[in-house]
Structures are given as C-alpha cells and as structure tokens.
A and B are shown apart, each in its own frame.
Chain A
Amino acid sequence: MATAIKRTLPHFLLLVYVAIILVPFVFVVFSSLKESNIEIAEHPFSFPTKLYFENYVEAWVKAKISVYFFNSVYLAFSSAIVGVLLSAGTAFALTRMRFIGMSKLLYQFVLIGMLIPGNVLFIAQYLLVMKLGILNTHWALFLPYTAGALPISVLLIAAFMKSIPSELEEASIVDGLSSIGLFARIILPVTLPALVTVFIVNFLGSWNEYLLANFFISKDALRTLPTGMVGFRDAFQTKYTLICTGIVFSVTPVLILYAFLQEKIIEGITAGSVKG
C-alpha cells in the first residue's frame, strides 16, 4: 500500500504540472472553434457546441495571418540555412585547415560575440540598419538574424568538426580532392547531425524573434508572425475567437516540427544556452 502511494505520487505531481502546461492550449483550441465571445463566456470549459471552422478561414485570409506566416517561414528558413552554411565553412577553415595561429585568434574573436546579450546591441543595430538604408525591408531582419546566430553556430560546428579523424581528410586529399571538394563532399555530410541541430536552433530563434521584428519593420505586409500576431490582437481587441485562431496558426507549425525532431530540438537549445 505504502509503496503504491510512493510510486504514484511522483506521477500525480508531474501530471499536475503537465496539466498546467497543456491546459492553456486546450482552452485556446476550444475557444478558436467557438462562435463568439458570448459562447466563450457562457461555456468557458466546455467543448464548442458547433465547430466554427469559419474562424480559421477568416483569420487566414482577412487578418493576413497567411502573409505573416510565409514571411516568417522564409525569413527563418533563409537566415538559418545561410547561417549554417557560413558557420560550417568558417568552422571548417578554423579547425581543419593549416593556419593554426590565425585560426585560434579568429576563433576567440568570434566567441566574444557570445558574451554580449542580443538586446544590448539593439539600438546600435537599429541605427546601423537605418544607415544601410534597409530599414523596413526583410534585409533588416535577415542580416541581424544570420549574424546573431554565427558565434554559437561556429562554436557548436567547430566542436563537432574537431572530432572528425584526420585520416578521412588525408585519404580524400590523396584521392585528389581540393579543399572545397573535401569540405563539400566529405566534411559537410559527416557533420550533418551537428548542422541539423544548429539549423533548428537558428530557425526557432528567428521564427520567434520579436524585438527587432517589431522595430525594424513597420509595413504590415512585411511583418513576421510574432509581431503580426500582436498587431492582430490589438486590431481584434475583443474578438477572442479570432485571436485564439491566430495563436493556433502560429503554434501548430512549431509543434509539428517538435513532434518529429524533439530530441534534436531539446539537444540543440540546451547545448546552445549552456555553452553560451
């Protein structure tokens, strides 16, 4: 009897916490399918009486969630992929090419970037973007997102590349591969697991970024999901069914990604923060 309690108590406590995490999402999904605020107010905890999928159509088309969504997808994707490729090239040069003194110096130099918390540079970056004449274009986000991910990406990929046995590259060079060939055909494929991790971390970072997106972009058509959603909420102040629909739209893709890649995502995000 006592052991049974002992065994179920941790599960009970953990399930309470899991409920605290999940219940808000359940409310949002239910409310997104309800007819109006009145239905939310009158039956807050119950399943919607009739499923109003019209909310989804309305939010997607009228409220331009689709525009924000695609802006986010392509900004997050492009800055993540460019960031990974640049960092992989740099990590390759720093760890595998024979300029050891120079490489050590450059490596330390790039790591300085990890000491600086992002939003300390926020105003200076704003002024820079203004000077470059790219304020209110997607470049104003693409460049800082890509640059912001570089230090940690170089660090993680370089750590991985250091562990590749040198016999591999010696054999390839004997076979006549150039440095670029070695990088593209041997090192990159071997490094793929690290590249995927770094890609995911960078992708999520840009996908979720709010501060820069809010101040560097003011044209509605260029907004990303995080800022577009806030504008959307402010515009529909009182239509909670639509606001909940918007939340569902912006959360679902991340959750789908998470469902498939949870181990990679957890590994990447935790590695990224601790080493930083």
Chain B
Amino acid sequence: MRSTLRNPAVYILFVAPTLLLYCLFFIYPMLTSSYYAFTDWNGLNVYKWVGLDNFIRAFEDPDFRSAIVNNFYFILFSIFIQVPLIVFLAIMIGSIKRFQGFYKTTVFIPSILSTSVIGILWGFIYQPEIGPLNKFLGLFKIEPIYWLADMKWALLAVLITNAWQWMGFYIVLILAAILAIPKELSEAAEIDGASGWKRATRITVPLIRPIISVVVMLSIAGAMRVVDIILVMTKGGPVGSTEVMASYLVKRAMGVNPSYGFGTAISIIIFAFALILTALYQGIFGRNREGAEY
C-alpha cells in the first residue's frame, strides 16, 4: 500500500518544475553573479577577468562611499527612531481592550501598498507649492520647504516616508508577541503596585526582546536593499544626497553605458554588508542575552 507514495515518476513530476524554475532564477543567477563581478563585462561579447578591480573601483568612488553612508542613515533612523516608536505603539495597542483590532488593521495598511504608489503619494504631500504639508506649515507662517529638492531635507523626507510605510508592519509583529505573554504576569505586577510604565519596561520589554531583535535585523536587511522608494521619489538626487547603494548600482549597471560586471560587484557588496551587519548584531545581542541570565 505504501508503494503508491514511492512512485519515483510522480515524485519527479511534482518536484522537477519547481526545481527547474528555482535553479534557473536563483541558483544560476547566483553563480553568474559571482563570476561576472570579477570581469569587466558590459554587455558585449568580449570581456576579461579583472580580479578585484570592480570592488576597488567602487570603494574608491566618493559617490559610492556617500551612498554607503546614506544606507547607514537608514539603519540608524530605523534603530533609534522607528524601533522605539514601534515598541511604544505596540505596547499601547496591547494594553487596551477596546478597538484593538481596529488599530491593528489600520496601522498595517501601508505595508500592503506598493512602494512606488507610496512614493508618488508622498511626492504629492511634499509638493512645495500645493502639497498639503507645506500648506499646513504655512498656517504657522513657515516658508515653503522644497522637501525633495533641497539637499538639507531630501533624505529626511524619504526616511519619513519609509518609516510611514513599514512601521505598522513591525508594530503588528511585536503586538503578536505582546499578546502571547500570559496575562497573569502583568496582572500580578499590577496587584503588586507596579505602574503601567514599570510593567512595560520591566515585564513586557524583556519578554519581547527576541522579537525586537528580529525587528532590528529585518530593519538592517531592509535598509541595506532599499531602492524602490529612492528611484520613485528622488532618483538619488538632489546631487546624490539620497543615493543609496542599490540605486547607485541600478544607475551604473543599467544606464546608457551598461557595466554589468561592475553592477554585480556592487550587488555582492550589498549582500556582504547585510550578512556582516546582521551577524555582528546577532553576536552582540547573543552575548547580551547570556549576560542577562545571572
């Protein structure tokens, strides 16, 4: 009777199409990427092995270095501004009984929308002459600000949009962990006279630390590969002030003079950055957790 489930032809029939597609669009590009990154291929048939030249050229380019710095702004903004707000708002939603579902559903909305549409929407909000934000600030006699065209403001404007898009998603992630905490814990603390603030910092936050660290790592990974919102809102401008690694890659690799070898080298650098930073964070966080045990 078991022989039905041992039919190799059926097994292959079920597995082969998936594996074929997967190999073609994941494994093969991965292999070619790691090869092209060391060549000067630009779409023509003649190309040669250039060793680490592409990597050196990237790090020597001040434009690329400032793009790396902007990626780090994304990381810093999410860790020091978004994450505390996310945890705070999640605890707020977790602490109330009425309308919990409403808040959860509403804050999640931006995370199901396309980044490009969100970029266009915020482009309108930031529009200097007729955009609602400047109109609103105008009520307080604040001169119109050229949010996306002024080097001082552009990156901040994009960071805010990015935060608006993703915070709700992380709030819902953390909320799930908060709601999984046994009610008795915080009730006992309440009877012992702990204030809401104390209960949040002494009970809830320590208990949800694992999920907070997941959020931090997802934010780091997300900050490393951010690109859509840049391409839609600023195209890296004004004067490279919002350029990130991935938008730099897209411009150099896919422009009028494509340089695929150089582009793949950049994508490997992005990948390496993401791996190193998450490993680093995990290492530090792992030690912290052990330290907290005694």
Contacts and interface: CB of A to CB of B under 8 A. Distances in A.
Interface string A178-194: 11101100000000000
B246 A106 contact: no
B22 A113 contact: yes
B135 interface: yes
B6 A97 contact: yes
A270 B33 contact: no
A210 interface: yes
A147 interface: yes
Given A99-B6, A227-B116, A124 B168 contact: no
Given A120-B268, A124-B36, A179-B10, A14 B93 contact: yes
A244 B218 CA distance: 31
A233 B121 CA distance: 10
B248 to A, nearest CB: 12
B132 A27 contact: yes
B25 A14 contact: no
A215 B247 CA distance: 13
A110 B268 CA distance: 20
Contact of B22 (A96, A151, A215, A265): A151
B30 A124 contact: yes
A126 B32 CA distance: 11
A14 B225 CA distance: 30
Nearest to B271: A120
B122 A208 contact: no
A98 B15 CA distance: 13
A119 B267 contact: yes
A270 B22 CA distance: 23
B15 A144 contact: no
A interface residue count range (under 10 / 10 to 19 / 20 to 34 / 35 or more): 35 or more
B96 to A, nearest CB: 5
A122 B260 CA distance: 11
Contacts of A255: 109
Contact of A250 (B27, B114, B253, B270): B114
A230 B120 contact: yes
A13 B268 CA distance: 43
A183 B4 CA distance: 12
B116 A93 contact: no
B20 to A, nearest CB: 9
Contact of A40 (B22, B96, B130, B268): B130
Contacts of A113: 22, 26
A210 B5 CA distance: 42
A270 B117 contact: no
Scoring B18, B21, B127, B260 by chain A CB atoms within 10 A of each residue's CB, the highest score goes to B18
A11 interface: yes
Interface in B91-139: 92-93, 95-96, 98-99, 103-117, 119-125, 127, 129-130, 132, 135-136
Contact of A274 (B89, B98, B173, B271): B173
B286 interface: no
A31 B124 CA distance: 10
A233 B32 contact: no
Contacts of B95: 10
B194 interface: no
Given A182-B4, A273-B218, A266 B116 contact: no
Interface stretch (B68-76, B180-188, B226-234): B226-234
Contacts of A215: 250, 254
A174 B1 contact: yes
A122 B168 CA distance: 28
A124 B254 CA distance: 12
Contacts of A124: 28-30, 32-33, 36, 264
Contacts of B149: none
6 contacts: A87-B18, A99-B11, A106-B15, A121-B30, A247-B124, A266-B172
Interface of A: 6, 10-11, 13-14, 17-18, 20-22, 24-25, 27-28, 31, 37, 40-41, 44-45, 86-87, 89-90, 92-94, 96-99, 102, 106, 110, 112-113, 116-128, 143-144, 146-148, 150-151, 154, 169-170, 173-174, 177-180, 182-183, 204, 207-211, 214-215, 225-227, 229-230, 233, 240, 243-244, 246-247, 250-251, 254-255, 258, 262, 265-266, 269-270, 273-274
**5 closest A-B pairs (Cβ-Cβ)?**
A124-B29, A147-B25, A208-B114, A93-B14, A226-B116
Given A21-B164, A27-B132, 10 more contacts: A14-B96, A106-B15, A147-B26, A173-B1, A182-B5, A210-B116, A233-B123, A262-B108, A265-B112, A266-B104
